[in-house]
């Protein structure tokens, strides 16, 4: 068993996996990684299960002392990572030694960075998840964001990581401060007049300072109701776009509550939630409507991309001949 020690925690660093699935009916929020794509690819690069727990850093990254010999991978927002003061590349497996110091700075593109450790973080599961739900003081490490001096075990005995694993540049997302995000209208789009639907789909909205893991409040043209804004409380999913009586949309995120009594004009599709997760206050978003069938096709493409990445990573190998190093990908017929 190895460990990591938090020298500096960064602004908001927590342990996250894919969340507490199956417990919303009991009032327990899902939590989990905000950026599903970066989270899963980080794990793939170090040979972990795609949904193993990682560190999620927001805006400003941590400084970590490595207490094991093994591998890490860093994905998501660019926080200019350095190992022992030397710049290291993201989106690939990085070999580390006991005593090394990993340093992350402020995010220059995107807002959330993911750090995976070969073998996984050995914290206990609560309701089948290692994710931190800070508002409930639950999960992760002591139910809170990480603090200076925290020591977190890493189960290196389970590590399947190898050197030289990376993903092709074409798979690496670029993070913009202005994005088009696709939505499926509803489930309460009938509570809005046609002009409000048109306004929602043809206007630019800015993310306000009221933006965190629970939800993003948006600033832009107000939306009016023909029914509501209050409804009988029903379930809220990751990406639900609530519109309270003040008319400003709120996009619900990973730490959302389980139910809510405000109308929901639309739902951000799963494949575009990583885009939302990498946006912060001041960034702008436009919404584009797609059908349920289109959303399902996009999701299939999204999952296929991740499967392709895993296949290429698992079948790439380092071959060294004298002073030359080759990365070979073996295609299975």
Residues 6+ apart with CB under 8 A from 112: 34, 35, 38, 56, 57, 58, 76, 77, 277, 278
pLDDT of residue 228: 83
Q: Which of 51, 44, 46, 58 is nearest to 16 (CA)?
A: 51
What pLDDT score does 333 carry?
46
pTM as predicted: 0.94
Residues in the chain, pLDDT under 50: 320-321, 325, 333
Residue 214's nearest CA partner among 175, 181, 258, 179 is 258
Q: 125-169: per-residue pLDDT in tens?
A: 999 999 999 999 999 999 999 999 999 999 999 999 999 999 999
pLDDT of 330: 57
| Phi and psi angles of residue 179, each rounded to the nearest 5 degrees, phi first | -140, 150
Cis peptide before 187 (omega within 30 of 0): yes
Assigned CATH for 178-290: 2.40.100.10
pLDDT in tens, 101-111: 999 999 999 99
Provide the residue ranges of all domains of the chain, joining segments of one domain with +: 2-171, 178-290
Q: What is the pLDDT of residue 331?
A: 56
């Amino acid at each position: 068993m190895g460990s990591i020690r938090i020298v500096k925690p960064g602004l908001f660093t927590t342990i996250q996996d894919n969340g507490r699935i199956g417990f919303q009916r009991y009032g327990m929020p899902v939590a989990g990684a905000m950026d599903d794509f970066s989270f899963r690819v980080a794990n793939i690069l170090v040979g972990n299960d795609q949904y193993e727990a990682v560190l999620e850093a927001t805006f400003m990254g941590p400084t970590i002392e490595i207490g094991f010999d093994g591998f890490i991978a860093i994905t998501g927002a660019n926080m200019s990572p350095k190992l022992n003061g030397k710049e290291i590349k993201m989106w690939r497996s990085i070999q580390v030694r006991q005593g090394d110091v990993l340093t992350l700075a402020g995010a220059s593109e995107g807002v959330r960075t993911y750090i995976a450790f070969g073998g996984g973080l050995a914290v206990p599961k609560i309701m089948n998840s290692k994710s931190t739900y800070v508002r409930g003081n639950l999960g992760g490490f002591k139910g809170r964001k990480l603090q200076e001096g925290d020591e977190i075990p890493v189960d290196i005995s389970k590590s399947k990581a190898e050197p030289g694993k990376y993903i092709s540049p074409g798979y690496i997302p670029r993070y913009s401060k202005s994005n088009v995000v696709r939505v499926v209208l509803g489930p309460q789009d009938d509570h809005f007049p046609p002009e409000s639907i048109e306004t929602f789909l043809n206007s630019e909205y800015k993310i306000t300072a009221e933006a965190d893991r629970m939800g993003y409040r948006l600033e832009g043209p107000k939306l009016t109701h023909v029914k509501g804004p209050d409804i009988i409380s029903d379930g809220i999913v990751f990406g639900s776009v609530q519109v309270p009586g003040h008319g400003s949309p709120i996009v619900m995120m990973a730490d959302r509550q389980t139910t809510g009594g405000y109308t929901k004009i639309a739902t951000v599709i799963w494949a575009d939630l990583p885009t939302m997760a990498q946006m912060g206050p001041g960034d702008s978003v436009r919404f584009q409507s797609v059908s349920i069938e289109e959303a399902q096709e996009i999701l299939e493409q999204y999952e296929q991309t991740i499967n392709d990445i895993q296949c290429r990573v698992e079948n790439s190998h380092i071959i060294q001949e004298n002073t030359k190093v080759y990365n070979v990908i073996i295609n299975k017929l």
